[in-house]
Structure 1
Amino acid sequence: MISPVRRKLAVLPLVLLPLGAAAACSSENATTDCTVNACTVTFNRGVDASASILGVKAELVSVQGQNVTMKVAGQQITVPVGEGEQADGFDVSVQSVTQDNVVVKISNGGGG
């Protein structure tokens, strides 16, 4: 029979795993809000902005009106505000564009 202490110690790494995944996010001229399978990234406009999330690098390349061009995992895509695209198995959707920032949600898409 497994003691309650051993059981708790065995479960502890699984409980801490999402915290480690979220803590692994980093950014430059951007802020991130991550869960295990998705991140919302707010990129500052007018500067080089990038974030390392979900094991890949996401970079804001340019904004032309309501179209946002980004690089996700090295693949360049253009996504209209309110719509989504796929990049290297990730779902990328642009939530908003303002004069100061661009808010993008990137999640594991399961595609290849």
Structure 2
Amino acid sequence: MTKRSATAPTPLRRTAGLLAGLALGVAVLAGCSSDGADTDCALDACTVTFDRGVDASASILGVEAKLIGAQGDQVTVEVAGEQLSLTIGQQAAEVGGFAVTLDSVTDQQVQIRVARNAGG
């Protein structure tokens, strides 16, 4: 039987490993990427702020969200492959197990919230 000397990890290695694990955890939890949009995600909901006038999209919570168009206070977005027309203050639109609401519309940006349905 061969005895191997186990060396304890140094504090620097422990810290580096912890930071790498935290970074990976944050990336997995966020699960989002975007082009022409900013995302702010939690475990079961994301706020997406699209830039107007560009081909804006975001991959969030396992689905694609795209800004199709905006005119006045009405916005058309595509979420999980389905187009939705939204206005501020309307009840959430249901699509593919998600609830989608329009938070704000300006000349420069459109902000929506996409949340997993509790039952979906």
TM over 0.5: yes
Which of these residues, 88, 97, 100, is aligned with residue 89 of structure 1? 97
Aligned residues: percent identity? 51
Aligned partners of 1:18 and 1:36 also within 8 Å: no
**What is the root-mean-square deviation of aligned Cα atoms in Å?**
1.9
Q: Higher Cα Rg: structure 1 or 2? A: 2
Matched, 1:99 2:107: yes
Match of 2:117 in 1: 109
Matched, 1:60 2:91: no
Q: 3-state SS of the aligned residue for 2:54? A: coil
Q: Give the TM-score normalised by structure 2.
A: 0.74
5+ residue gaps, structure 1: 1-11
Query: CA 1:111 to 1:87, structure 2 compared with 1: closer, same or farther past 3 Å?
Result: farther
Aligned partners of 1:73 and 1:88 also within 8 Å: yes
5+ residue gaps, structure 2: 1-17
Query: CA 1:92 to 1:98, structure 2 compared with 1: closer, same or farther past 3 Å?
Result: same
Q: Give the TM-score normalised by structure 1.
A: 0.79
Cα drift, residue 45 of structure 1? 0.2
Distance 2:89 2:110 in 1: 12
Q: 3-state SS of the aligned residue for 2:53? A: coil
- Number of residue pairs matched by the alignment: 98
